[in-house]
Amino acid sequence: MKDQSRKRHIAKAITWRVVGTIDTILLSWLISGNPLTGLKIGFTEVLTKMVLYYFHERVWFKINLTKDGKLLESRKRHIGKTITWRMIGTLDTMLLAWWISGNPLTGMKIGVAELFTKMIFYYIHERIWHRSRFGLTAHNVNEI
């Protein structure tokens, strides 16, 4: 079970990072006015976000949120995951954008813009992965 779920979480981390990096590059370019700044912020995030996302997935996989002895409905769980991930992701983006651009206001603007775009994209990503059985065994399919 552990090996299968880890494969799934690594695959989810990679697919989400592709979507997230494209969004970050475009937003950073639009806000900073500099395509090179957008690329620097986007590609720096690849490493930090993949590590952070993997651990976020592992924590949520181990959390057993129950209501009356039953696992919470998946949409509520995905909303909870969306909110916690966005908090982590936005803080990371803001700090990296500030560091790379040298301007704390640029970091704040990019972070605020991402609050909206990334929450929408992340929810869609979670729903797609919820329908996928990649990396799941019969035992842990029922846990999701």
Q: Are 32 and 101 in contact (CB under 8 A)?
A: yes
Question: Nearest 5°: phi and psi at 50?
Answer: -65, -40
In this predicted model, what pLDDT tens digit does every residue of 105-125 receive, in sequence order?
Answer: 999 999 999 989 988 998 899
Cβ neighbours, 10 Å, residue 117: 14
In this predicted model, what pLDDT tens digit does every residue of 1-45 receive, in sequence order?
Answer: 455 578 888 898 889 889 989 999 999 999 999 999 999 999 999
Look at the alpha carbons of 132, 137, 142, 144 in this order and tell me if their dihedral is positive or negative. negative
The pTM score is 0.71
Residue 80 has pLDDT above 90, yes or no: no
In three-state secondary structure terms, 114 is helix
Residue 92 has pLDDT above 80, yes or no: yes
The closest of 90, 107, 85 to 40, measured between CA atoms, is: 107
Once rounded to an integer, what is the mean pLDDT over residues 88-97? 94
Give the pLDDT score at 33. Answer: 95
Helix (H) / strand (E) element for 139: namely helix 138-141
Domain limits of the chain? 2-141
Residue 143 has pLDDT above 70, yes or no: no
Buried/exposed 91-104: b ≥16 CB within 10 Å, e otherwise: ebbbebbbebbeee
